[in-house]
């Protein structure tokens, strides 16, 4: 039987020219984390330390350990699951090979060898600049040369991320000892038809003895099958009767089946391959209709409105992201009502731990190939690397039922058309051959069970603009960059794959990241941890459209930016969900952060939930009430994504800001399962000017409509009582209290509230659960409560 020996101990890292003494190294890991552990560099996440460690990415680095490959087996392989990025591997001075792709694994025959194993990493900058010099300049959204190297693009910095260009053995490394033959690759095709699950396992083997007769035996769901290996490959097929369907979160259960495939020589087991699979069908409905060209996920025959978030690497040093951290972050997503996670193209193909968690949680995965915001050369040495990494990762990720879409790139087709690339390229290659040629061919050959789309955004054809909202996927960034968030309601895209609004991280995150700094919107550390072009200017202009009296008071500014982020995303999602089935999904930019930064994330770089996170729980719930301004007047949209029909009555109240009910009526509604019902608000209940607002209630659901921006609303001075309750506090309003927020991390860095923004009418109360609060105190809680106040 194949034996695997992890190589985790005894590693050192050093700069080849001797400028840095040999230091202990962690494998998996990277040079930054090793230097940080040794105290050689400061934490690049704190203050402005990022700039002090920029030299690390410009150096070459060597990892070394002693290796003894002696074994009674016929062959021993040295296996690297991931090397970041350009490296030369040698053993006792003998060159084993050279590599240049972070997104691939590598295997070297070291049978009978021993000595000093050396992995020498060249600076990613040096490699990228050399390829640029050979192939010529290509335009990109950022000045760093990330498109010339097959490496996580955002390690070169992004509009939410630091520039920390890594190197190292970032995924596990091991020795594999084996005899006769081993399993080189298993490509599982999993389908289901009329209740029967079909599993086809295409097996490739590597041999040491050509003449040895080989058999593969597979077991799935208690069903066993065998097949002979003809030369170096074979296929074993299994039918599983009464297969239980795997469903996305909220639509059913997520049954997973263990698959075990054993390679046999006679009665001897030589190698074993184990995975988990799920039976489900997935289609992408891209048919033309009266509204344009659709983009609707269909799972097990059911059409879905996708409630999505974009995922970036959870740490700029991805080797630090553990199985537990993946699970925590993805559990946060599921708890917010998310059912789709898009892995963005400037990052990586994530580890098995990510997809395992999505399989178990019922989170659909949209996987970008790693291309983002740049023109990518299609010549060698890049083209061969792109094909090799695509082939490896398509097969690696195929077992996961959560994976439902392969996407060619992020924003490159749009960039070619709109960002001035076409004239600059003057006929040079830029990636179109990957997105419309190579990658769809690879997916069609290896994984025909899943759809492929050429890019995001992509209209489906050059006949239309790549970002045409009426066709395919759409990225809505004009609103954040130039307009008020009310403009989200100006159109109805078929599928919104990116949109978002910025806000700073939680207060405790800022305090940790900027120690000793007097916080202000434009303080040095705050500006350094704001990577977006004119980011603070856009934040300010967004606030000016709605609020007064926010400058010069950091706490007020911090609260209002959080409110604005939540309201902006709510404006988009409420409008687009109310337009189902024309609009078939929203994917918020973004779920998470890779360090403490002002960004579009719902969960900040320290894992703390912003108010946006809690707002997503409301927006992505199966049932949603929303008040929408239409040409004919106010409309109540009753959004029902549950399978069961929803009928009842909504209490509509036209109220003054002093809390007086000006008018009231109950209106009935009925929404079929997976449908939207629309009810016109009676004209006499529409608010008249900034002193009035409309409230719609049914059960525990509420929608509120204020017709004027907050700066024009004559809010009363908020009055409320605060009392301790088991596990939290109770707030009782004596006046209108709009957008009340408990910033629990101001009570204790570990404290978390179980809800975000809430609007209370006079006499109403809310219980806010708080965990991680060591010494509960009502007055302390009051000091951490924020809400809308009258303009001064």
- Determine the pLDDT at residue 550: 86
Q: What is the pLDDT of residue 148?
A: 98
237 in the same domain as 146:
no
pLDDT over 80 (residue 702): yes
Q: Which residues are the active-site residues? A: 411
- Which residue range is the domain that position 257 belongs to? 180-277
Task: Note whether 428 and 541 are same-domain residues.
Answer: yes
- pLDDT greater at residue 632 or residue 559: 559
Indicate which CATH number applies to the domain containing 10: 2.60.120.260
Q: Residue range 206-234: average pLDDT?
A: 94
Q: Please say which residue of 219, 245, 277 terminates a domain.
A: 277
pLDDT digits (tens, 9 = 90+) for 351-361: 999 999 999 99
Q: Which two tokens stand for residue 80?
A: 């690297």
36 confidence band (pLDDT: 50, 70, 90): very high
Residue 270 sits in the same domain as residue 310: no
In a domain, 32, yes or no: yes
667 assigned to some structural domain = no
Q: Is residue 508 part of a domain?
A: yes
Q: Give the three-state DSSP class for 59.
A: coil
| Mean of pLDDT values over 655-675 | 96
Instruction: State which of 586, 604, 625 marks the end of a domain.
Output: 625
Q: Comparing 548 with 173, which gets the higher pLDDT?
A: 173
Q: Is 610 part of any domain?
A: yes
pLDDT at 518 over 70: yes
Q: What is the CATH number of the domain that holds 234?
A: 2.60.40.10
Co-location of 497 and 570 in the same domain: yes
Domain assignment of residue 671, yes or no: no
Q: How far apart are CA 409 and CA 431, in angstroms?
A: 9
Considering the domain architecture, whether residues 128 and 228 belong to the same structural domain is answered as no
- Residues 455-468 as b/e (b if ≥16 CB within 10 A, e otherwise) read bbbbbbeeeeebbb
pLDDT above 90: residue 555:
yes
CA proximity to 102, closest of 136, 50, 153, 41: 153
Looking at the fold, whether 103 and 195 belong to one and the same domain comes out as: no
Determine, yes or no, domain membership for 559: yes
Q: For residue range 685-699, what is the model confidence (pLDDT) as tens digits?
A: 999 999 999 999 999
Residue 631 scores a pLDDT above 90: no
Do 150 and 223 share a domain, yes or no? no
**b/e burial code for range 194-232 (CB count within 10 A of at least 16 → b):** eeebbbebbbebebeeeeeebbbbbebbeeebebebeee
Q: Is residue 665 part of a domain?
A: no
- The pLDDT > 70 percentage for the chain reads 99
Mean pLDDT of 245-250: 97
Among candidate residues 277, 294, 309, the one where a domain is terminated: 277
pLDDT by residue (tens digit) across 763-774? 999 999 999 998
Residues 329 and 259 in one domain: no
Q: Are 504 and 369 in a shared domain?
A: yes
**Under a CB-based contact definition with an 8 Å cutoff, are residues 556 and 790 in contact?**
no
pLDDT of residue 549: 82
Question: Per-residue pLDDT averaged across 419-436, rounded?
Answer: 97
Q: Indicate which CATH number applies to the domain containing 776.
A: 2.60.40
Strands 3-6 and 86-91: unpaired
CB atoms within 10 A of CB 352: 15
Confidence of residue 17 (pLDDT cuts 50, 70, 90): low
Do 267 and 301 share a domain, yes or no? no
Q: Are residues 384 and 455 in the same domain?
A: yes
CATH label of the domain that carries residue 496: 3.20.20.80
Q: Tell me, what's the pLDDT at 192? A: 97
Look at residue 650 and tell me if it is in a domain: no
Same domain membership, residue 500 and residue 560: yes
The number of folded domains in the chain is 4
């Amino acid at each position: 039987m194949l034996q695997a020996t992890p190589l985790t101990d005894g590693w050192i890292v050093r700069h080849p020219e001797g400028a840095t003494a040999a230091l202990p190294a962690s494998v998996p890991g990277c040079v930054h984390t090793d230097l940080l552990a040794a105290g050689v560099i400061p934490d690049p996440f704190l203050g402005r330390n990022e700039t002090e460690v920029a030299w690390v990415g410009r150096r070459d680095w060597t990892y070394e350990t002693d290796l003894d490959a002696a074994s009674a087996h016929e062959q021993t392989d040295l296996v690297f699951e991931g090397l970041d990025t350009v490296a030369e591997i040698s053993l006792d001075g003998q060159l084993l090979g050279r590599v240049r792709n972070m997104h691939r694994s590598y295997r070297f025959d070291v049978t009978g060898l021993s000595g000093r194993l050396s992995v020498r990493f060249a600076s990613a900058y040096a490699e990228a600049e050399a390829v640029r010099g050979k192939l010529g300049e290509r335009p990109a959204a950022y000045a760093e040369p990330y498109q010339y190297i097959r490496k996580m693009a955002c390690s070169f910095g992004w509009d939410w991320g630091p520039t920390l260009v890594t190197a190292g053995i970032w995924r596990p490394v091991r020795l594999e000892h084996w005899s006769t033959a081993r399993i080189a690759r298993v490509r599982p095709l999993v389908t289901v038809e009329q209740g029967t699950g079909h599993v086809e396992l295409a097996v490739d083997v590597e041999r040491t003895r050509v003449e040895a007769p080989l058999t593969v035996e597979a077991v799935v769901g208690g069903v066993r099958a065998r097949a002979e290996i003809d030369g170096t490959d074979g296929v074993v097929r299994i039918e599983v009767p009464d297969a239980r369907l795997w469903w996305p979160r909220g639509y059913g259960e997520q049954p997973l089946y263990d698959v075990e495939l054993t390679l046999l020589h006679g009665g001897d087991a030589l190698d074993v391959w184990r995975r988990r699979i799920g039976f489900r069908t997935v289609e992408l409905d891209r048919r033309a209709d009266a509204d344009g060209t659709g983009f609707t996920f269909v799972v097990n025959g059911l059409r879905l409105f996708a409630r999505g978030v974009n995922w970036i690497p959870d740490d700029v040093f991805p080797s630090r992201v553990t199985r537990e951290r993946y699970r925590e972050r993805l559990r946060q997503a599921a708890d917010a009502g998310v059912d789709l996670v898009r892995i963005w193209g400037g990052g990586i193909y994530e580890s098995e731990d990510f997809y395992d968690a999505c399989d178990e949680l019922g989170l659909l995965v949209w996987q970008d190939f790693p291309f983002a915001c740049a023109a990518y050369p299609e010549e060698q040495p890049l083209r061969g690397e792109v094909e090799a990494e695509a082939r490896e990762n398509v097969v690696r990720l195929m077992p996961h039922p959560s994976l439902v879409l392969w996407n060619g790139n992020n924003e490159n087709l749009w960039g070619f058309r709109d960002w001035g690339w076409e004239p600059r390229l003057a006929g040079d290659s830029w990636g179109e051959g990957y997105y419309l040629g190579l990658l769809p061919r690879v997916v069609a050959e290896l994984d025909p069970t899943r759809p492929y789309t050429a890019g995001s955004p992509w209209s489906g054809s050059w006949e239309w603009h790549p970002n045409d909202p009426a066709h395919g996927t759409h990225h809505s960034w004009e609103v954040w960059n130039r307009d008020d968030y009310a403009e989200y309601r100006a159109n109805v895209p078929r599928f919104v794959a990116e949109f978002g609004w910025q806000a700073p991280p939680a207060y405790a995150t800022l305090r940790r990241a900027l120690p000793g700094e007097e916080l202000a919107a434009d303080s040095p550390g705050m500006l350094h941890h704001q990577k977006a072009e004119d980011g603070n200017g856009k934040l300010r202009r967004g606030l000016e459209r709605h609020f007064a009296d926010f400058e010069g008071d950091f706490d007020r500014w911090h609260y209002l930016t959080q409110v604005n982020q939540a309201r902006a995303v709510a404006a988009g999602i409420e409008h687009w969900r109310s337009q189902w089935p024309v609009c078939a999904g929203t994917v918020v930019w973004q779920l998470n952060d890779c360090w403490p930064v002002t960004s579009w994330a719902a969960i900040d770089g320290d894992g703390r939930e912003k108010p946006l996170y809690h707002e997503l729980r409301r927006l992505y719930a199966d049932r949603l009430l929303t008040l929408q301004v239409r040409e004919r007047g106010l409309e109540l949209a009753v959004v029902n994504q549950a399978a069961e029909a929803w009928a009842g009555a909504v209490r509509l109240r036209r109220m003054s800001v002093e809390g007086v009910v000006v008018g009231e009526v109950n209106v009935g509604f009925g929404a079929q399962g997976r449908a939207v019902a629309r009810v016109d608000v009676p004209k006499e209940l529409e608010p008249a000017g900034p002193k009035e607002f409309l409230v719609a209630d049914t059960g525990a659901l509420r929608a509120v409509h204020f017709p004027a921006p907050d700066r024009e609303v004559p809010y009363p001075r908020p009055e409320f009582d605060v009392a301790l309750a088991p596990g939290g506090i109770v707030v009782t309003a004596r006046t209108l209290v709009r957008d009340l927020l408990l910033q629990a991390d101001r009570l204790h860095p570990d404290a978390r509230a179980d809800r975000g923004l809430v609007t209370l009418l006079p006499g109403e109360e809310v219980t806010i659960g708080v965990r991680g609060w060591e010494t509960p105190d009502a007055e302390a809680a009051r000091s951490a409560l924020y809400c809308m106040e009258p303009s001064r």
